Amino acid sequence: MATSETEWRLPSPRKVGLTLVIMTESALFTIFVVAYLFYIGKSLNPPYPREVLEFPWLGSIFLFGSSGTVVVAEQRLKKGDKGGFHLWWAITALLGLGFLIYTGSEWYNLIYHDHLTLSTNLFGSTFYSLVGLHASHVIVGLILLTLILVASLTGNIQERHHEHIEMISWYWHFVDGIWAVVVTVVYIIGMQ
């Protein structure tokens, strides 16, 4: 059983740490998703989802697209193409920003046009809490993307920071995955 000849290798703390953060965040989202699913069709007063929600094509294209651009940005970085990395990384951040603007306009319409607020009914409470929790994660991701962009443009990103960048892209994929769940629950199942 002696292992003295073999090399002693342990996993990267950043990768393990972020995997665990994603697990614990998933547990947090699960509860909000369960609350949403549990209360579908149980609101006692309008507005109801089918009357006021529209499928978020634009927002979804922005966010799912940004998952692709972040991969391209990472590949550019690995090939040593700093300019390409900046370009695609900036596009990712802009797509994230576009998603937030889309969500903002959706919420503006819901609040001022359809008079749906957090306190209107069960739908309002579960909708804003779930979508809002996701949007808050997009905001965090956007801040991280911007920080990296600024750091890279000012020449502060070295070889040893590549794993940090990879982790941010993992996080961004996670935010994207959560959006897939939210779309399924809120805009597909919830509209039946």
Partner 1 sequence: MTAWIQDLIFTVDHKKLGFMYLGAGWLFFIAGGILALLIRTQIAVPNNHLLDGETFNGAITMHGTTMIFFFAMLMVFGLINYIVPLQIGARDMAFPRLNAFSFWATFFGGIFLFMSYVFGPGLYGTGAAPDASWFALAPLTSRAFSPGNNIDFWSLGLLVSGVGSITGGVNIMVTIFCYRTKGMTLYRMPLFTWLALVTMFLVIMFMPPLSAAQIMLVLERFFGAKFFEAQAGGSPVLWQHFFWIFGHPEVYILVLPAFGIISECVPVFSRKPIFGYPMMVAATVMIGFISAGVWAHHMFTIGMDSFSVTFFAFATFVIAIPTGIKIFNWLGTMYGGKIRFEIPMLFCIAFLFQFLIAGLTGIMLGCAPFDWQLNDSYFVIAHFHYVIVGGIVFAVFAGFYYWFPKAVGRMMDKRLGLWHFWIFTIGFHLTFDPQHFLGFLGMPRRIYTYQEGRGWEVLNMISTIGAFLQAVGGIIFIVNMIISARKGKVAGDDPWDAWTLEWMTSSPPPDYNFEHLPEVRSRRPLWDLKHPEDPDWKFE
Vertex 58 angle, CA 144 and 152, to 5°? 25
**Helix and strand totals (H; E) in the chain:** 6, 0
C-alpha to C-alpha distance for 94 and 146, rounded to whole angstroms: 10
- The answer to whether residue 24 forms part of the interface with partner 1 (CB under 8 A) is yes
- The answer to whether residue 27 forms part of the interface with partner 1 (CB under 8 A) is yes
SS3 state at 56: coil
- Listed in sequence order, the residues at least 6 apart from 74 whose beta carbon sits closer than 8 Å to its beta carbon are 85, 165, 166, 169
SS3 state at 4: coil
| Minimum distance, C-beta of residue 28 to partner 1, in the bound complex (Å) | 4
Query: Of 4 and 154, which has the nearer Cβ to partner 1?
Result: 4
Query: Of 28 and 189, which has the nearer Cβ to partner 1?
Result: 28
Among positions 31-50, residues that touch partner 1 (CB under 8 A) are 31-32, 35, 38-39, 42-44
Residues that bind partner 1 (CB under 8 A): 1-4, 8, 10-13, 16-17, 20-21, 23-25, 27-28, 30-32, 35, 38-39, 42-44, 118-119, 121-122, 124-126, 128-129
